[in-house]
C-alpha cells in the first residue's frame, strides 16, 4: 500500500496540497527533536549507564566480577531456568496455536483470554501463587514436606515462576499467524496422503518459523531477566537459588555497584541481541509480505 501512495503522489499532489498535508519544516524539526530527546533520556541513557558503570574500574575488574563463583552460579541457574521454561512454553505455544488456529470449537475466545492471563498478573503475585500452593503454609506444603520434596525456595519453584511469567509469549505470536494462514495447504497435504505429523513438520512449521523464532526470543529475554516472580520463590540462597537478576540485587544492596553493573551488562547485552534479532525478523517478514503482495498483484493483472 505504501508503494501505491508514493507512486501516486507525484502525479496527484500539486505543490499547494503537498504543503497543506505536511507540517512546516520548523514544526517538523521541533517534533523530531522532542521525540529524539525523550527517547535518548529514557532509553539511551539507561543503556549507556549500565555499560559505563560496569567498566568504571576497568576491564580487569569487570572480568574479575564476572568470574566470581557466585556470579557463575547465578549465570548457570538463569540458563537452566530459561532452558526449561522456553522449550516448555514453545511446545505449549505450538499446541495452542494448532488447536485454536486450525479448528473452530466452543469456548475458543475464552481460551485465548485465559492464555493471556499471566501478562495481566503482577510478577510479585505470580511468585506468590506458587508459595501459597507449594510453600510450608501452602495447600500442598505438608504433603511435599512429608515426602521430602522442595519446590519453593529451590530450583523447581524458580523454573515454575519463570514458566508462568513467560507463558503467553510463543502462543500469542503463533495463534494469529496460524489463523491467518488458514487450512488450505494442510488439507491439500492430507488429501495427498501425508500423515498428520508430516503435514505439521513439512507444511505448518515452515510457514510459521519466523513467528515462532520471534516468540522464542522474546520469551527467552523475559525468562532470563525475570525478577519479581523469581524473587518471591527463590529464598535468596547465595550460590544456590540466585538467578542473575537476584544476584544483581544482592551486589547492589551490598554497595558493590561496579560488580552489580558488570552482571547487569550481560543482561543488557542479551537485551540488545534480542532487539537486533527481533528487528531482523520483522524486516524478513516484511520482505516476505511485499513479495507475496507483488506475486498477488502480478497474478491479478494477468
Partner 1 sequence: MSFTFKQRSIIPGFGLSLGFTVLYLSLIVLIPLSATFLKTASLTWDQFWHVVTAPRALASYRLSFGASAIAASINLVFGLLVAWVLVRYTFPGRRLLDSLVDLPFALPTAVAGISLTAIYSSNGWIGHYLQPLGIKAAYSRLGVVIALTFTGLPFVVRTVQPVLEDLDKEMEEAAASLGASRWQTVSRVLFPAVMPAAITGFAMAFARAVGEYGSVVFISGNMPMRTEITPLLIITKLEQYDYAGATAIAVVMLVASFALLLLINLLQVWSGRREKSATVAEGEPVSVAANA
Angle at 261 between CA 52 and CA 127, to 5 degrees: 145
Residue 120 or residue 146: which is nearer to partner 1 going by CB? 120
Separation of alpha carbons 175 and 102, rounded Å: 9
Separation of alpha carbons 150 and 153, rounded Å: 7
Cell reading at 279: 528487528
Residue 53 or residue 68: which is nearer to partner 1 going by CB? 53
Shortest Å distance, C-beta 243 to partner 1: 10
Shortest Å distance, C-beta 41 to partner 1: 7
Q: 129: closest CA among 171, 159, 157?
A: 157
Separation of alpha carbons 210 and 173, rounded Å: 10
Shortest Å distance, C-beta 161 to partner 1: 10
Shortest Å distance, C-beta 47 to partner 1: 7
Residue 23 or residue 67: which is nearer to partner 1 going by CB? 23
Cell reading at 119: 501478562
Shortest Å distance, C-beta 148 to partner 1: 22
Residue 21 or residue 60: which is nearer to partner 1 going by CB? 21
Q: By three-state DSSP, how is residue 68 classified?
A: coil
State the helix-helix crossing angle for 205-225 and 257-301, rounded to 10 degrees.
160
Q: 268: closest CA among 37, 58, 45?
A: 45
Separation of alpha carbons 248 and 245, rounded Å: 5
Residue 39 or residue 145: which is nearer to partner 1 going by CB? 39
Shortest Å distance, C-beta 141 to partner 1: 10
Residue 118 or residue 239: which is nearer to partner 1 going by CB? 118
State the helix-helix crossing angle for 244-253 and 257-301, rounded to 10 degrees.
140
Say if residue 39 is exposed, middle or buried (CB neighbours under 10 Å; 0-12, 13-18, 19+): exposed
Shortest Å distance, C-beta 209 to partner 1: 18
Q: Please, what's the b/e burial string for 3-14 (b: 16 or more CB within 10 A of its CB; e: otherwise)?
A: eeeeeeeeeeee
Amino acid at each position: 500500500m505504501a508503494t501505491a501512495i508514493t507512486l501516486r503522489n507525484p502525479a496527484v499532489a500539486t505543490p499547494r496540497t503537498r504543503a497543506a498535508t505536511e507540517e512546516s519544516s520548523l514544526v517538523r524539526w521541533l517534533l523530531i527533536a522532542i521525540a529524539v530527546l525523550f527517547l535518548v533520556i529514557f532509553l539511551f541513557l539507561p543503556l549507556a549507564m549500565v555499560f559505563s558503570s560496569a567498566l568504571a574500574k576497568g576491564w580487569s575488574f569487570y572480568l574479575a566480577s564476572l568470574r566470581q563463583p557466585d556470579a557463575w552460579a547465578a549465570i548457570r541457574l538463569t540458563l537452566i531456568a530459561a532452558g526449561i521454561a522456553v522449550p516448555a512454553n514453545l511446545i505449549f505455544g505450538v499446541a495452542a496455536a494448532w488447536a485454536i488456529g486450525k479448528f473452530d470449537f466452543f469456548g475458543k475466545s475464552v481460551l485465548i483470554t485465559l492464555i493471556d492471563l499471566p501478562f495481566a498478573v503482577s510478577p510479585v503475585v505470580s511468585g506468590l501463587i506458587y508459595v501459597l500452593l507449594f510453600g510450608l503454609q501452602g495447600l500442598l506444603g505438608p504433603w511435599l514436606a512429608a515426602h521430602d520434596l522442595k519446590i519453593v525456595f529451590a530450583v523447581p519453584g524458580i523454573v515454575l515462576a519463570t514458566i508462568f511469567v513467560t507463558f503467553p509469549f510463543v502462543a500469542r505470536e503463533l495463534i494469529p499467524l496460524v489463523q491467518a494462514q488458514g487450512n488450505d495447504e494442510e488439507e491439500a497435504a492430507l488429501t495427498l496422503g501425508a500423515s498428520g505429523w508430516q503435514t505439521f513438520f513439512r507444511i505448518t512449521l515452515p510457514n510459521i518459523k519466523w513467528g515462532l523464532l520471534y516468540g522464542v526470543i522474546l520469551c527467552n529475554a523475559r525468562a532470563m531477566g525475570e525478577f519479581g516472580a523469581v524473587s518471591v520463590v527463590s529464598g535468596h540462597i547465595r550460590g544456590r537459588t540466585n538467578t542473575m537478576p537476584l544476584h544483581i540485587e544482592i551486589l547492589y544492596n551490598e554497595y558493590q555497584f561496579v560488580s552489580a553493573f558488570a552482571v547487569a551488562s550481560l543482561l543488557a547485552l542479551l537485551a540488545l541481541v534480542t532487539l537486533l534479532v527481533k528487528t531482523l525478523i520483522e524486516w524478513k517478514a516484511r520482505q516476505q509480505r511485499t513479495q507475496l503482495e507483488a506475486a498477488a498483484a502480478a497474478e491479478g493483472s494477468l
